[in-house]
Chains A and B, each alone.
Chain A
């Protein structure tokens, strides 16, 4: 417990099963010490790869077995990702080594709320699978509304088959009028939590505000899959090193490959732990953490997802 686990929890993929054509479930078995207990809404950072390259990707933890031997995640085959999820879909078979580098919770259940309304789309359902287990255990009132494509309806129906049918509603049509009715019927004490693609969350957020949800009672988790871009170079003021960031690399990966101990936690632009001061150059912000004023000031960058608008950046590292 006391020693920092810089090496993480070694594990292997134990089982793989399709959920939908683009979603695949992975059960991951610890091979050394058991996984720690996990709070609902947590994500892990998972390291895996082959001889050529290693990915370190965040995924919501759907479940942990009581004895700590297994973690379950669901991975979406994302177009335009940097390839980690595509690698798992293609090469993620039982026996593949995978290391859980760290577990953190940026999307905790608000236990004091009288009632929870959960809204998800696509792979955004993953944190709510753990939410519903925890809420059942704590006796909290909730209702999940999950949005999917018509052709995925059967698959999500199967995924949710063992849930209380009175608390789970599937929608294959994003009907604004219907969502307005659902949200307007919620008591003022309800908390709204949402997870899904940006377009979905913007839609839900707008409808919720229109029916009078206070912004303080709307919760969301947004992860960014780091997307590539033009290559750039960072000059590190403290160490004097220069590091090149290729079109498909993240700045954080490039720093780590150069042996720099850069801070990080979620690796998805959601937590802010990897924030580093920018001494010169213009950052290209792609995170969900910095306030507008901080973006405009341009004097810091989240290395896990953001890039550069200029050919070089000078960082305080």
Chain B
């Protein structure tokens, strides 16, 4: 992150989102192998990893200012995208502390936190915010503490209460989601909100994941990558707005596939919150058009092989049916069949020029 932001981007029609070469190379490409199936792909969320987007507790990139503006617009149109149940108040403050501590430590040029006992001053230079407040006193902030901080961060956040040997989604702010609704899932248990996912329950993945998360320790966050695909650089693919974006899935042609079809990756990280014993679930969304992925030879070949061989149940669940053939056709012309290295790292520091991507 070099401190410069693409401040004039649009995540709704008319779409206007740019990715610099640096942003492409730090993309958290989600496929370490040539085929994909659900797995417990959880690892410690430590400041290390094969791409730079994994190197911070909460990743800030060149889209930060534009994404926060888009989030504010969605919340203005639909305030119930942010819902927190009353018993999660301590978890809200846990989140404020974790976010402010992490951002000011990881990006001292952008954020600052000055603490004098419970009198705190928060400075957010990209959004031009300076806020004096009393930690623990919600009346000293312009809105609820969770909402206040989540508005200043890329991605979605949910708060899970832990009780009765289960996790309960009892709060969150969700504006960049892959077709699920906080309004619908609020108050559900771990098993309930995962009920629509195919295959994984039969594989025992959710039972193991819940057991693992119930033991999650403060100071030892974990992460995983999840993925789907989205037409156009649209963060808000919500059920609430399905009528706006759902039809776009029928608009993909051989001529526009490179620009329209985006690989949507969620960097999901989970943090135990110390005061409340709740768990913060952070879902940081990255959108990259397949035309940009094609500029990394390893990634375009791997994406081709994964999509070509994807289980039909996952194709249906992820809603890829209507544009998968065009996408696979585009990528197949760019896959030379070479053996690819395991892992997600791009294996290059230089991107192929766009002009050299013309299909044969």
Interface of A toward B, CB cutoff 8 Å:
1-5, 36-39, 41-42, 66-67, 102-105, 108, 110-112, 138, 216, 265, 271-273
Contact = CB atoms under 8 A, between A and B. Distances in A.
Contacts, number: 65
Contacts of B45: 2
B217 A102 contact: yes
A112 B277 contact: no
Contacts of B6: none
Given A36-B218, A110-B164, A138-B90, A1 B101 contact: yes
Interface in B274-311: 274-277
5 contacts: A39-B275, A105-B277, A111-B87, A138-B90, A265-B215
B89 A2 contact: no
A39 B215 contact: no
A104 B117 CA distance: 25
Interface residues of B, number: 31
Contacts of A265: 215, 217
A258 B89 CA distance: 45
A308 to B, nearest CB: 25
A223 B90 CA distance: 27
A104 B274 CA distance: 9
B274 A37 contact: yes
Contacts of A39: 90, 274-277
Q: Is the interface of A mostly helix, strand, loop or mixed?
A: loop
Contacts of A103: 217-218, 274
B162 A108 contact: yes
Given A102-B217, A138-B89, A1 B102 contact: yes
B219 A37 contact: no
B163 A273 contact: no
Interface of B: 44-47, 57, 87-90, 94, 97-98, 101-102, 105, 117-118, 161-164, 215, 217-221, 274-277
A42 B275 CA distance: 10
B234 to A, nearest CB: 31
B161 A36 contact: no
Contact of A1 (B57, B162, B164, B277): B57
B217 A104 contact: yes
Contacts of A1: 57, 98, 101-102, 105, 219
A141 to B, nearest CB: 13
Contacts of B275: 37-39
Contacts of B217: 102-104, 265
B90 to A, nearest CB: 7
Nearest to A140: B87
Nearest to B91: A111
Per CB-CB distance, the 4 closest pairs between chain A and chain B, nearest first, are: A111-B87, A39-B277, A37-B274, A108-B277
Contacts of A138: 87, 89-90
Given A104-B217, A271-B215, A216 B47 contact: no
Chain A CB within 10 Å, residue with most, of B44, B57, B102, B275: B275
Given A1-B98, A36-B218, A110 B163 contact: yes
A188 B277 CA distance: 26
A38 B274 contact: yes
